Amino acid sequence: MKADMEHWTGRLTALAAECGVPGASLAWWSGGELSACATGVLNTATGAAVRTDSLFQIGSITKVWTATQVMLLVEQGRIGLDTAVADVLPGFEVGDRRATDAITLRHLLTHTSGIDGDLFVDTGRGDDCLARYVEACAELEQTFPVGDSHSYCNSGFVIAGRMIEQLTGQVWDQALREQICVPLGLTHTWTLPEDVLRFGAAMGHGDDGKPAPAWGLPRAIGPAGLICATAMDVVAFGRAHLTPGALLADPAALRIPQVDLPNPYDGGRQWGIGWCLDEWDGHEVVSHTGDTIGQHAALWALPGLDTVVAVLVNGGRSAEFQHRVISELLRSLHQLTVPEPLAPPAEPVCVDTAPYTGLYERAGSRIRVTSTPGGLRLRTEPTGILVGLAHPRTLDLIPVDASTFAGRVDGDAMWSAVVFEYRPDGPTYLHYSGRATPKTG
C-alpha cells in the first residue's frame, strides 16, 4: 500500500518542531516500496530548504560501509577476518607491542581491539592521509587487553580503511565508489567536500540552534565516519544487506553476533561485523547511528520484515526525534513496538556509589564522576582536537541496579544508560556511549 506522504511529511515537521530540529530527511523501504520526505532547513543562516535529495553527514554509519568493503574482499579470498593487521600493514604498531602483534581485522570491525578509539588527528588532505593516521596510532594505549571487551573504536576503522587501500591499490574514497556506490547506483553518496558541495548539503547545528563552528572532520577519519548521502541512498545501501547477491553473496554473515555488549541498554545487545544487533518486539534489528559536528544519522534494518529506515538530522534533540520517528513509523507499518530507553525505576534503589566516584579517561574524553544525594553526577569534557567542537555535558545518574544507572542532560527527554564494571584484577570501567573508559584516579 502506497504511503501517505502528506501525513508523514506533516508528522516529520511536527516532531522536528517539538524536538528543536532545524532540518531532517526520512526515507524507508517497506512492502516493496521506497518512500521519502523532508522538512526544515539545511542551514539556519541561509534558510535553504531540506529536500529529499539533500545530503547529510551520516557519520559512523560509514563504518558499516567500510565493513562491507572488507567483507567483499573476504568473499573474494583476498583477506581473512582473522588476518593480523601487521601482516597487511608493514610497520603497523600501537603503544603495546603484544597488542600490535595480536590485533586482527575481526577485532577492528567488532570494536574489540582494546586500543584507545577516539584519535581525531588531522593528517592533511592528501591521498596519504590514512597512512599518516596509522603512523600516529603508534602512540595509542590499550583501554583493555585485545579481545577482552568491547569499546567503540573510531581508530580501528581508519586502520581497516588503510588495509582496504593496501589490498585494492586505491585510496579509500575511490575504493568505496568502485566497491559499493557504483554497483548500487548511489549517485548522491560522497566523501569529499568538493563533491558534496555540488549538491544541497546540510550544516550541523549546536545546542543553541546556531550553525556549528565547523562543517566536517579531517579527511583521515573517512572510513570511520565521513560519508555524506541522502536518506534514500542510505536506505538503498541498507536494502543491499537484506538481499544476497545485491552486493555481498552472504550479507547475513555481518549479522552473526561476535561480542556481547557490556552496556546492553545503549543501542543493542550484541555487535556483529559492523552492525549493532538487537531484537524489537520479537523481530531481528540491525542498526547503526552516526554523529559528526552537529549532525546525527540513524539507520535500522529489519531483515524479517524487509524494512529499512534512515533518519538524517542536522541538530536539535536528535536522539529523541529519531526515536519518536522510528517508533511511529514501525507502529504504522508493522504494528511493532520499539522498546523505550532504560529509565529510572518507579521505586528508588539504594546503591553504594562510593566505588564508582573518581576520574575516568581515554583519548578524546575526560569523565569525572561524583556522588549526589540521589546517585551520581557524570560530567564529560572533550580533550584534544575535539575541544571547541564537542561540548561538556553533565548527567545526573539515578541507580537502576547495583551497577547500572540512568541519566539525562537537562532539557532532554531521552534517558541514557551508564554501566559500571568492577574488575578485581584491573581498573573499574565506565561503559557509556559505547565506550569503555577506565578509571584513572
Positions marked active-site: 60
Closest C-alpha to 159, from 272, 57, 63, 297? 63
Alpha helices in 198-350 (DSSP H): 222-225, 231-240, 318-334
Closest C-alpha to 147, from 178, 101, 189, 193? 101
Spatial distance between the Cα atoms of 248 and 240, rounded to a whole number of angstroms: 8
Rg (CA), the chain: 21
* HSE-CB for 138 with a 13 A CA cutoff: 8
Cβ-in-10-Å burial (0-12, 13-18, 19+) of 328 comes to middle
* Side chain identity, residue 327: S
Map grid coordinates 544525594 to a residue.
373
Q: What is the dihedral of CA 101, 107, 108, 109, to 10 degrees?
A: 160
Spatial distance between the Cα atoms of 98 and 100, rounded to a whole number of angstroms: 5
Spatial distance between the Cα atoms of 309 and 301, rounded to a whole number of angstroms: 6
Report yes or no: 158 and 134 within 8 Å, Cβ to Cβ: yes
Compute CA distances 62 → 108, 222, 426, whole Å. Answer: 14, 8, 33
Count of CB atoms within 10 A of residue 36's CB? 21
